[in-house]
Amino acid sequence: MDVFDYIVVGAGSAGCVVANRLSENPNHRVLLLEAGPEDKSPLIHIPFGIIGLIKEGKYNWGYNTESQQSLGGRSLYWPRGKTLGGSSSINAMVYIRGHPQDYDEWSEMGNKGWDWESVKTIFKAHENNEVMKGPLHGCDGELNVTNVRDPNPMSGVFVDACVEMGYPRNNDFNGVSQYGVGPYQVTQKDGRRFSSARAFLNPVKKRVNLTILTDAQVRKVLIEDGKAVGIEYQIDEKIITVNVSKEVVLCGGAINSPHLLMLSGVGDKYHLQDHGIECKKHLPGVGKNLMDHLDMTVMVKDLSSRSIGISMASLGRNIVEIFRYFTKRRGMLSSNASEAGAFLSVSNDNSRPDIQLHFLPSFIRDHGRKLTYGHGCTVHVCQLRPKSKGDIFLSSGEPLDAPKMNPNYLSDPEDIEVLLKGVKVARGIFKTKAFSSSNGGEDAPGKAVVSDEALREDIRQRSETIYHPAGTCKMGIDDMAVVDPTLKVYGVKGLRVADASIMPTLLGGNTNAPSMMIGEKVARYILETEFS
């Protein structure tokens, strides 16, 4: 058995930050474990490689939810990153912090230190923005943020169409106001993905006090007398135990962190007993409060063929684009696929948008798992603040068995009404003059889907995740909270959680940059405690 001062479980968006910060002190011996392989695939580093990564594979956990009653009994596919960088290595690289009111709401719930003014300083410290300057942006942080190098011309048409509908142009969703339409900024540098691993882990990999293990799946946290004393992990068929002298930090994400807590005996004691697991700490909130952004699409055919597609007309162009990328890191392959978007309000005032649009100058069906011949454009409609909540629970007491996921989508009737209004906005975008010369007719929902009830049924039959599960190790001070405002697990010394699972409410936007911020927060809390 070996002994480390700190053990970080999960080298994802948050975990890479935590490992970096804790190993800055050469006297700290830090172990970082990642269940997936190293991030060596070219698909990870080529931005448009997302189309291949989002499918099942060795860099993706490839989860599936339980059947969803409100979605016609469908089980939804949930891709999650399984490599260094976690989901920041397979996502669409969109850089969004969330709305300031989201964080102020966390603070008002009793989470001191999580208000917007407090977390803003961390976002700025992380950021190296090549384009945006001023008091709301950073220019010397580790995380590179920039514009898409060569956006598809249809992304500009989308922005023009939204402006034609009366929405304000917004070139900085992380600026003074989130509301409006414009291009997304991305976590890229020189036409390549800039994941959390590339930003925070690669520069410090050679630290002698930092040990990084890949293909190492943690089976449980070892807890004795109410304190985390180590972890048990598995590489191939070999099971290894490692001790910790200070703290274990779980950064496995909204699915794996609550799963690992339950496997370790932390959770609802009755649920643990059902699976033969000794309860070390009864915390009924573990796995509860599961929230996710449900997403709906509106698609049209593109008569101009300027979008990204598979056709005889684009064959030669695509060959040129491949050449452009590998010689100049420019062109189609430098695209993140979701180049532009909008934050809009359909059921309240404009102070805090309730829907987010992602525009794709292409047809992408079933997370890119179903190829479609031809050219088209897609508007994704995401409801930002769903009231529906679900849970994560054990399928068995065997650590390598995936947990069960029940997001309980649309269980609150208000959620589908917000999505319905958003779909109508998306349809209106494609009916503008801006799209008149390229709109070849609606592909989905389709011209036969007209009434509100028909649209609601279409939402139930076609909606999918937009990849933002959160909340399952809720931070707070109430009876269902799992961690306190310093991210310590209640009732277990030396154990913290730091990832999207600690979010008490779902943020209005993409969750990648906020997860890195959470990693920074926990590292600061740990170091402050050590020297207090």
Report, as an integer, the average pLDDT of 262-268.
Answer: 98
Domain assignment of residue 488, yes or no: yes
Rounded-to-integer distance, Cα 250 and Cα 180, Å: 36
The residue among 462, 495, 524 that closes a domain is 462
Q: What is the CATH number of the domain that holds 374?
A: 3.30.410.40
Could you tell me the two tokens for 153?
Answer: 């011309």
- Torsion angles phi and psi, residue 223, rounded to 5: -120, 125
Rounded-to-integer distance, Cα 319 and Cα 267, Å: 53
pTM for this model (two decimals): 0.97
- Asked if the model's pLDDT at residue 241 lies above 70, the reply is yes
Instruction: Please indicate, yes or no, whether residues 107 and 204 belong to a single structural domain of this protein.
Output: yes
Tens digit of each residue's pLDDT (9 = 90 or more) over 55-111:
878 999 999 999 999 999 999 999 999 999 999 999 999 999 999 999 999 999 999
- Torsion angles phi and psi, residue 322, rounded to 5: -65, -45
**Domain count for the chain:** 2
| 28 noted as active-site residue | no
- Asked if the model's pLDDT at residue 44 lies above 60, the reply is yes
Could you tell me the two tokens for 507?
Answer: 């943020």
The residues near 220 (Cβ < 8 Å, ≥ 6 apart) are 231, 232, 260, 263, 264, 265, 399
What angle, rounded to 10 degrees, do the helices at 15-22 and 512-531 form?
A: 30
Residue pointed to by tokens 């900024």: 185
Residue 310 is predicted with a pLDDT of: 87
The residues near 351 (Cβ < 8 Å, ≥ 6 apart) are 101
Instruction: Please indicate, yes or no, whether residues 452 and 480 belong to a single structural domain of this protein.
Output: no
Instruction: Please indicate, yes or no, whether residues 302 and 439 belong to a single structural domain of this protein.
Output: yes
Domain assignment of residue 72, yes or no: no
Residue 55 is predicted with a pLDDT of: 83
Bridge partners, 488 (sequence order)? 496
The answer to whether 120 and 134 have CB atoms below 8 angstroms apart is no
The answer to whether 12 and 499 have CB atoms below 8 angstroms apart is yes
Instruction: Please indicate, yes or no, whether residues 370 and 509 belong to a single structural domain of this protein.
Output: no
Q: Which tops the pLDDT comparison, 315 or 283?
A: 283
- Torsion angles phi and psi, residue 422, rounded to 5: -65, -40
Instruction: Please indicate, yes or no, whether residues 2 and 39 belong to a single structural domain of this protein.
Output: yes
Containing domain of residue 54, as a range? 1-67+77-143+186-290+469-532
Instruction: Please indicate, yes or no, whether residues 43 and 106 belong to a single structural domain of this protein.
Output: yes
The answer to whether 333 and 46 have CB atoms below 8 angstroms apart is yes
Q: Where are the alpha helices (DSSP H) in 1-128?
A: 15-22, 42-45, 50-53, 100-108, 116-126
Instruction: Please indicate, yes or no, whether residues 174 and 193 belong to a single structural domain of this protein.
Output: no
Instruction: Please indicate, yes or no, whether residues 120 and 197 belong to a single structural domain of this protein.
Output: yes
Residue-wise DSSP of 251-272: --HHHHHHHHHHHTTEE-HHHH
3-class SS shares of the chain: helix, strand, coil, % to 5: 30, 25, 45
What average pLDDT is seen over the chain?
96
Report, as an integer, the average pLDDT of 41-50.
Answer: 96
The residues near 402 (Cβ < 8 Å, ≥ 6 apart) are 61, 63, 395
The residue among 462, 479, 501 that closes a domain is 462
The residue among 426, 441, 462 that closes a domain is 462
Domain assignment of residue 403, yes or no: no
Residue 531 is predicted with a pLDDT of: 67
Domain assignment of residue 57, yes or no: yes
Burial of 107 from C-beta contacts in 10 A (0-12 / 13-18 / 19+): middle
**Strand positions, DSSP E, 66-186:** 77-78, 127-129, 143-147, 180-183, 185-186
Residue 349 is predicted with a pLDDT of: 77
Instruction: Please indicate, yes or no, whether residues 528 and 485 belong to a single structural domain of this protein.
Output: yes
For 358, the 3-state DSSP assignment is: strand
Domain assignment of residue 394, yes or no: no
**In Å, how far are 14, 178, 397, 466 from 293, measured between CA atoms?**
20, 18, 29, 6
Report, as an integer, the average pLDDT of 132-136.
Answer: 96
Tens digit of each residue's pLDDT (9 = 90 or more) over 184-212:
999 999 999 999 999 999 999 999 999 99
Category of 181 on φ-ψ map: left (φ > 0), alpha (ψ -120 to 50) or beta? beta
Residue pointed to by tokens 């917007």: 116
Instruction: Please indicate, yes or no, whether residues 306 and 337 belong to a single structural domain of this protein.
Output: yes
Residue 369 is predicted with a pLDDT of: 83
Instruction: Please indicate, yes or no, whether residues 161 and 284 belong to a single structural domain of this protein.
Output: no
Rounded-to-integer distance, Cα 161 and Cα 25, Å: 52
- Asked if the model's pLDDT at residue 532 lies above 80, the reply is no
Nearest to 87, CA basis, from 65, 64, 62, 60: 60
Give residue 244's pLDDT band: very low, low, confident or very high (50, 70, 90): very high
Domain assignment of residue 55, yes or no: yes
Q: Count Cβ atoms below 10 Å from residue 455 Cβ, excluding itself.
A: 20
Q: Count Cβ atoms below 10 Å from residue 24 Cβ, excluding itself.
A: 14
Give residue 183's pLDDT band: very low, low, confident or very high (50, 70, 90): very high
- Torsion angles phi and psi, residue 250, rounded to 5: -90, 125
- Asked if the model's pLDDT at residue 147 lies above 60, the reply is yes
Domain assignment of residue 311, yes or no: yes
Tens digit of each residue's pLDDT (9 = 90 or more) over 331-351:
999 999 999 999 999 987 778
Nearest to 341, CA basis, from 93, 158, 112: 158
**Strand positions, DSSP E, 271-335:** 281-282, 294-302
Q: What is the CATH number of the domain that holds 274?
A: 3.50.50.60
The amino acid present at 329, given as its one-letter code, is R
Active-site residue, selected from the candidate residues 99, 126, 137, 468: 468
Residue 2 is predicted with a pLDDT of: 86
Domain assignment of residue 398, yes or no: no
Residue pointed to by tokens 């929405």: 167
Could you tell me the two tokens for 220?
Answer: 């449980």
- Asked if the model's pLDDT at residue 1 lies above 70, the reply is no
Residue 367 is predicted with a pLDDT of: 86
Instruction: Please indicate, yes or no, whether residues 414 and 429 belong to a single structural domain of this protein.
Output: yes
